[in-house]
Structure 1
Amino acid sequence: MSMEPSRVVTCGPGWSMEEAAAWSSDDRISFQTSLPSHSDSVQLQVVEYAAPAPAPATHDKDCSYPIQVFKEAEQAFHADYSLDSMEQKIHRFPPSLVDVLDRYKVPVTVAIGPYHHGSHSGVMEAERVKHMAANQCIKDSGRSLQEMYNEVSFVSQVARSRYYDVASLREDDFLPMMFFDACFLVQFMRSYDEDSGHMDDALLGYFYANFERIYTDIMMLENQIPWVVVKTILSFMLPEPSLWPLKKFIVAMRSCLKNQGDEKQIEKDDIIVDPGYEPPHLLGLVWFYIVGENKKGEMPIGDQPMSLSMSVAELLDVGITLVPKTETEAGLVDMGLERKHHFFGVLSVPPLCLTDANATWLVNMAAFELCRTSDFDEIDDGNSAVCSYLQLFVMLLDKKQHVHDLRERGVIQGGGLTSSETLLFFICIGKNMRVGRNYLKIMVKVEDFKQKMTCCVKLWLSIKKNRTRIVTVISAIGVVIGILSSLPALKPR
């Protein structure tokens, strides 16, 4: 297929929003036309082969042609579903979380990428803001629109390969979408910088007025663009970028998940930047720093059949107390069970603040973990940390009273979803979610506690559990003894 070369219009760095918008939709500008997708090509070849042949075919052609067709189909499938490609794909929401409500997986204010682009009227206002953000990026960079757009076009085919089901999307629609969406994300992240006074007042005002809904939408699994595109726009920002606009943004995001409203406490929170980590998208970047240290510890060996579910009351029955983890720097991977005084255990968990935004982040980070790897057994603990964290709450919460119990213990913090909404959230995500390594480790240790309980510990725990009844019985016995002892004094002399 012949392809017309794209014509580039020279544009200066001072372009306005209106000029940028007109430029992106100008009929005079032709973009490079994309070839038909490989899947469509394979399907067409298969259909053509299955159709009645107009002329007799040779034996060699009959044998080689379908083999080649299916070989190409196999290569295309491997390109989508090999382990390496799964790490970088922009995934669809996994079927195992099909019961999760749309409010946690469909953007309301801003659509990023092609999956939800123009899906409903609520996201259309943000399209105007994206043009404004692009204009701001051009001004901040001091470079031309032509230069920035060309750099995005160089990575466009890589970006397209990260998506599923975009064969029908033309390149002259896909490329502007990547450019404007990346500019929007870059300016939104930069708005967290203290030195954001350079930003247009109207643009900054829009971010401030809608920041909670925006940072909820941009953490959805299906609402992402490849990080290579965002990184390309960041490379034009001044001063020379490393992670300078991202560090404060990530710290702020992590603080929101931890329900840290105190500015002084947020300032104390910090992250150690790992320059070697290349995220697949923004969700993957925030996930990396929220989860915490990624390490693979040995899985404890259990000798007895193990239960994968246990209530708070059952934990107390075996001498295990559930407590919130107090360290502010703790990540979601930092939950575990430790022995205390040789006989008892403490299960420490990062406290859960389940606002609407946090619920969205958690379920989408769990979906990200489920999609990027098919097996949690052979990976580091951190790669299934969110699934383990959520699965623990799925285990502990079976009715509204359990939510109230965890609120009293400080494990679930107030100010978010109601008890009914919290319970419904965990019921929806707990049906088919794959169990993470950290969760399995905890359950193996719980079983170990049960097997090693001595008679003295069992007696002590039984007394502690039933102390109210025991006190009542002892009091009743004391009253009876008192009455019986007073009877001889009542006999006539």
Structure 2
Amino acid sequence: MEPDPDASWVPCEFQLSNWTMETVAWTPGFPVSSSSLSESNEIFGTPSWMQTCVPNNSSGGQLVEYYAAASEHDPIEKESSFEVELHNMQMQIHSSPIRVFEDVAHKFEADIDMIKVKMHRYPTVIRDLGVRNTVPRIVAIGPYHHNRQELKQTEQAKHVAAYHCLRQSGRSVEELYSAVVSVADDARRLYDKDVMAGIGYEDFRHMMFFDACFLVQYMVWYTDISDKEMDPSLRTFFFSNRSDINHDVLLLENQLPWQVVKTVMRFRPLPLDKFVAPWTTLLQDRHDVKKRPFALDGTYQPPHLLGLLRFYIVGRSDAKLLPKKVAKIRSLSFSVSAIELAEIGITLTANETAELVNMGLNKKGVFFAELSLAPLSLDYARASRLLNMAAFELCTVPNFLDGRVEDSAVCSYLRLLSMLVHREEDVHQLRRKGILQGGAGLTNKEALDFFTSLQSLPGGFCYTRTMVEIESYRVNRSMRTKAHAFFHKKKTTICTVLSTIVAVVSIFGTLVGILVKLKTAP
């Protein structure tokens, strides 16, 4: 019988002696010594040639010094050709200071080109909504929250997950770790440069290894929580902390590049479609008894787990931006209240699908139309998921009106709801119409506070199209909408008058009946 792979590896200890390998330079989990960090800082401080090669009294020299000072924070490992490259840069800068600007411009352009795949930080509009929606509760995935003291307790669970990931894969430590390293160095450039400046290459590789193993093991458990092959202690940890882990793995700043996750999944396969399918209805409490067929779209390459799940929660649409009849529209309002919609004959309704992209105006007969939205069971967990999906859209879509309909669907959905809600009575109206579902979750006051906090979100593609549809409906049916608006505003008076008329007619009828009886009496 062959021994278990790397049975001597103890993941929860950090001493070098616990790793049974001949080569120890790359040992996962082994901390970088303070002396090596100090040496790195000395090497990567401001090079002496940057201070002396150009006279300080020249404008070019001042620019070079400024550029050098701005580069001091980058402790990237020294490559064998580094001195040669610095010498070449010295010669270029010495001959033409414009090279400084060219270098910055090229880096800036490369950074923008990676906007779809980067591991983004929160935009201000989301960060201002508080730590409840932006800070992990139990586990740090990736470097942005790695040093939070309150998350250190889960580091041991990461090592246990890596240990069992290796055992169940049947592969060696060296093989799996080397595979992660082969993509980790490329993944490093996707994170914020200021954060990466404080993390050495080896530390980052270790982080990618353990975090990816933890995430993949959790995904394996999620597809089958009764999996007998998984270690009982790890299964218990996942089950008892599932709510916090579900919250943390969908935070924008708590993501791993998908190529790192896929690398570990090659060693520890899992049915990804079975993992994704339950998340597609995570915004609702009501689920179909008979499960709908679900299949992954092989054409979509997600940047990370949040991007993957958002893709299937949002759905896809072939809808166009503008309705057919828009020629008469002279101006467009980007805000309309539920009362104004009711006045022109537009009612709110929940659509039959859970996909957020399916929103818009549906005409119902001659005088009426429906504004249809996906239903939502709103609690703090779902509010956090919506905000993080919206943050993903804000960071990855430069222009909401110059892309696919679904690219900004979450922002559109939240903006429409925030537009319709101004009072607790408005929230109650959304519940009556079935758009807000379920008795649990946020109260009317809490839901009102949540929606009104989102009024600064930009309107997405679907939001703009819906507002055009509303305006087109108002303009192209102006006589009917004016008549409906008149009756809606005066409905109380009209009802009172009609009731009075009915009462008078009834009294008159009674009197006529009495008179007829009197005349016919003997």
Class of the TM-score when normalised by the shorter of the 2 chains:
0.7 to 0.9
Q: Aligned to 1:322, what secondary structure does the other structure show?
A: strand
What pairs up with 1:21-32 in 2 under 5 angstroms? 21-22=14-15, 29-31=24-26
Q: How many residues are matched?
A: 459
The superposition leaves residues 249-298 of structure 1 with CA deviations (integer Å, 9 ceiling, x where unpaired) of 21122222222456x34xx1342211222110000110111111154624
Q: 1:457 to 1:115 in 2, by over 3 A?
A: closer
- Given the two structures, how large is their TM-score scaled by the length of structure 2? 0.79
What pairs up with 1:351-366 in 2 under 5 angstroms? 351-366=375-390
Q: Distance in 2 between matches of 1:175 and 1:438?
A: 41
> Are residue 223 (structure 1) and residue 254 (structure 2) matched?
yes
**What is the aligned partner in structure 2 of residue 125 from structure 1?**
153
CA contact (8 A) 1:42 1:73 kept: no
CA contact (8 A) 2:10 2:18 kept: no
- Given the two structures, how large is their TM-score scaled by the length of structure 1? 0.84
Q: 1:461 to 1:63 in 2, by over 3 A?
A: same
**What is the aligned partner in structure 2 of residue 145 from structure 1?**
173
What pairs up with 1:4-403 in 2 under 5 angstroms? 12-15=5-8, 17-18=10-11, 21-22=14-15, 29-31=24-26, 52=56, 64-82=95-113, 85-121=114-150, 123-164=151-192, 165=194, 166-194=196-224, 196-237=227-268, 241=269, 244-260=270-286, 264-265=289-290, 268-295=291-318, 297-300=320-323, 301=326, 303-327=329-353, 330-403=354-427
Question: How far does residue 89 in structure 1 lie from its aligned partner after superposition?
Answer: 0.2
Larger Cα-atom Rg = 2
Greater CA deviation, 219-228 or 459-468?
Answer: 459-468
Q: 1:137 to 1:304 in 2, by over 3 A?
A: same
Q: CA RMSD in A?
A: 3.4
Q: 1:92 to 1:19 in 2, by over 3 A?
A: closer
Greater relative contact order (Cα 8 A, min sep 6): structure 1 or 2?
1
**What is the aligned partner in structure 1 of residue 78 from structure 2?**
none
Q: Aligned to 1:199, what secondary structure does the other structure show?
A: coil
Question: How far does residue 331 in structure 1 lie from its aligned partner after superposition?
Answer: 1.2
Q: Which amino acid aligns with 1:213?
A: D
Q: Distance in 1 between matches of 2:180 and 2:6?
A: 16
CA contact (8 A) 1:337 1:347 kept: yes
The superposition leaves residues 108-144 of structure 1 with CA deviations (integer Å, 9 ceiling, x where unpaired) of 11111101112231x1222111111111110111001
Q: Distance in 2 between matches of 1:47 and 1:96?
A: 41
Q: Distance in 1 between matches of 2:52 and 2:238?
A: 52
Q: Which amino acid aligns with 1:193?
A: T
**What is the aligned partner in structure 2 of residue 8 from structure 1?**
none
CA contact (8 A) 1:227 1:279 kept: yes
One of 431, 436, 440 as aligned partner of 1:412: 436
CA contact (8 A) 1:45 1:69 kept: no
CA contact (8 A) 1:133 1:187 kept: yes
Q: Distance in 2 between matches of 1:236 and 1:371?
A: 32
**Structure 1 unaligned spans of 5+:** 1-10
Q: Aligned to 2:116, what secondary structure does the other structure show?
A: helix
| Identity, % of aligned positions | 38
The superposition leaves residues 159-210 of structure 1 with CA deviations (integer Å, 9 ceiling, x where unpaired) of 1010012122111211111111111110111112237221111111111111
CA contact (8 A) 2:417 2:451 kept: yes
Q: Distance in 1 between matches of 2:245 and 2:340?
A: 41
Question: How far does residue 245 in structure 1 lie from its aligned partner after superposition?
Answer: 2.6
Q: Which amino acid aligns with 2:142?
A: G
Question: How far does residue 408 in structure 1 lie from its aligned partner after superposition?
Answer: 1.6
**Structure 2 unaligned spans of 5+:** 27-31, 62-90, 515-522
Q: Distance in 1 between matches of 2:10 and 2:330?
A: 67
**What is the aligned partner in structure 2 of residue 450 from structure 1?**
474
**What is the aligned partner in structure 1 of residue 519 from structure 2?**
none
